[in-house]
């Protein structure tokens, strides 16, 4: 079919749906990036983005994908040959470690099972053996988009502190920023990496480094050459609301509106909305009789749910049928999870009806593909959402 009527359901774990006010802001005429109107915009977004990272530390904004912000975090703080401790929680943690190797860093990857988050005790034990301080940074993913697992970053910080280790702590929040509660400063993170296309409700094209004073000090002695990614030039220009090179002007116009929308709703309400959608989705999945990829309920992601299909059933065939039948896009399995899992995104700009509509499309697809399941998963989700709403109203 050349045209499918109705709204396309973009329920991958990012990019997410971009709300109309954000699109309208991006579509405004481009302004002079050296003029006073832009200066006011620059100052506003540079201050506003700090509130989303929940920090007073500087946040640098790049016209790049999250991959660029990964690289910026590494090259601004480290030198060739430095040792970095990373944790294999899934596909994106693996990709970040591959990048580090290609840059010339010595990567030590703590193995994982792609069903669990970062084990703080394993990090502590490894750092406790590093009496000479060879490990210069610990890099972890907060919300692993390939598995639907969220790691406890505060516990990782405590692990470094108990080990008495001076390594920098770097955290990827690309799929959690604006969706799952995160505290860059309170949790003692040195570099937090973020992206625009998920909880911030923007198209791809902006990425972020939130940087501690410790990371900033490390950047002065870092040995990697850098120009485009350099923090010092960025910070110097940002002090006056400008950028050292042509920024993504229209995306910054959209970012201002996205930040305002998050604050209008209230960050606590944003996180509660994501929590509610995630639990409704999991109840549907369990009712259908499927296993959730995340093995520990304490680590369930509020941004997405990765669903394991029974042996002998193709997740990719199911996704294709759902797209054909319902105009609904779901996330594919990555790496060793290819064709084994499908991922339901519930992050960004959405509400309860979009969640139940998505689950309805999935349930119809399961029936069409002959995947054994127990019907009624959508009703299980609706029952939870109705009860959750009633409890919230009673508390008002």
Give CA–CA dist 150/298, Å, rounded: 9
pLDDT tens per residue, range 323-333: 999 999 999 99
Residue 312 pLDDT: 96
Radius of gyration (Cα) for the chain, nearest Å?
A: 21
**343 has binding-site annotation:** yes
Question: In whole angstroms, how far apart are CA 246 and each of 90, 122, 235, 251, 333?
Answer: 35, 43, 15, 12, 36
Sorted by where each starts, the structural domains of the chain and their CATH numbers stand as: 20-263 (3.40.640.10), 266-395 (3.90.1150.10)
Tokens linked to 145: 């988009």
Residue 392 pLDDT: 55
Residue 394 pLDDT: 59
Give CA–CA dist 228/105, Å, rounded: 20
Give CA–CA dist 183/155, Å, rounded: 13
Residue 141 pLDDT: 98
Give CA–CA dist 283/1, Å, rounded: 33
Q: What is the DSSP letter of 224?
A: S
Question: In whole angstroms, how far apart are CA 348 and each of 17, 181, 193, 258, 306?
Answer: 7, 13, 18, 10, 17
pLDDT tens per residue, range 170-191: 999 999 999 999 999 999 999 9
Q: What is the pTM of this model?
A: 0.96
Q: What residues in the chain have per-residue pLDDT under 70? A: 1, 389-396
């Amino acid at each position: 079919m050349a045209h499918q009527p109705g709204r396309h359901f973009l329920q991958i774990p990012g990019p997410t749906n971009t709300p109309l006010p954000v699109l309208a802001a991006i579509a405004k005429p481009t302004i002079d990036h050296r003029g006073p109107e832009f200066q006011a915009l620059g100052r506003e977004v540079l201050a506003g983005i700090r509130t989303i990272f929940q920090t007073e530390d500087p946040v640098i904004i790049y016209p790049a994908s999250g991959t660029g912000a990964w690289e910026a975090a590494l090259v601004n703080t480290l030198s060739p040959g430095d040792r970095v401790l990373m944790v294999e929680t899934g596909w994106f943690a693996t990709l970040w470690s591959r990048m580090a190797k290609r840059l010339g860093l010595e990567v030590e990857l703590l193995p994982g099972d792609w069903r669990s988050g970062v084990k703080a005790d394993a990090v502590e034990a490894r750092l406790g053996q590093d009496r000479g301080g060879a490990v210069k940074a610990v890099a972890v993913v907060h919300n692993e988009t390939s598995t639907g697992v969220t790691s406890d970053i505060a516990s990782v910080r405590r692990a470094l502190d108990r080990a008495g280790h001076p390594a920098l702590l770097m955290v990827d929040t690309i799929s959690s920023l604006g969706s799952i509660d995160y505290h860059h400063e309170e949790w003692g993170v040195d570099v937090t990496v973020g992206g625009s296309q998920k909880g911030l409700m923007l198209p791809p094209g902006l990425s972020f480094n939130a940087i501690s004073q410790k990371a900033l000090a490390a950047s002065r002695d870092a040995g990697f050459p850098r120009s485009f990614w350099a923090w010092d030039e960025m910070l110097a220009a940002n002090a006056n609301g400008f950028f050292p090179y042509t920024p993504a002007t229209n995306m910054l116009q959209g970012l201002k509106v996205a930040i305002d929308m998050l604050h209008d709703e209230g960050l606590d309400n944003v996180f509660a909305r994501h929590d509610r959608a995630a639990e409704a989705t999991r109840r549907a999945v369990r009712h259908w009789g499927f296993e959730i990829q995340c093995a520990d309920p304490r680590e369930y992601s509020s941004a997405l749910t990765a669903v394991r299909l029974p042996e002998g059933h193709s997740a990719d065939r199911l996704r294709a049928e759902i797209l054909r039948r319902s105009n609904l896009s779901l996330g594919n399995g990555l790496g060793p999870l290819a064709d084994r899992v499908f991922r339901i995104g519930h992050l960004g700009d959405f509400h309860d009806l979009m969640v139940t509509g998505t689950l309805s499309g999935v349930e119809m697809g399961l029936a069409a593909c002959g995947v054994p399941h127990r019907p009624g998963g959508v009703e299980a989700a609706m029952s939870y959402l109705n009860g959750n709403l009633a409890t919230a109203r009673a508390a008002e």
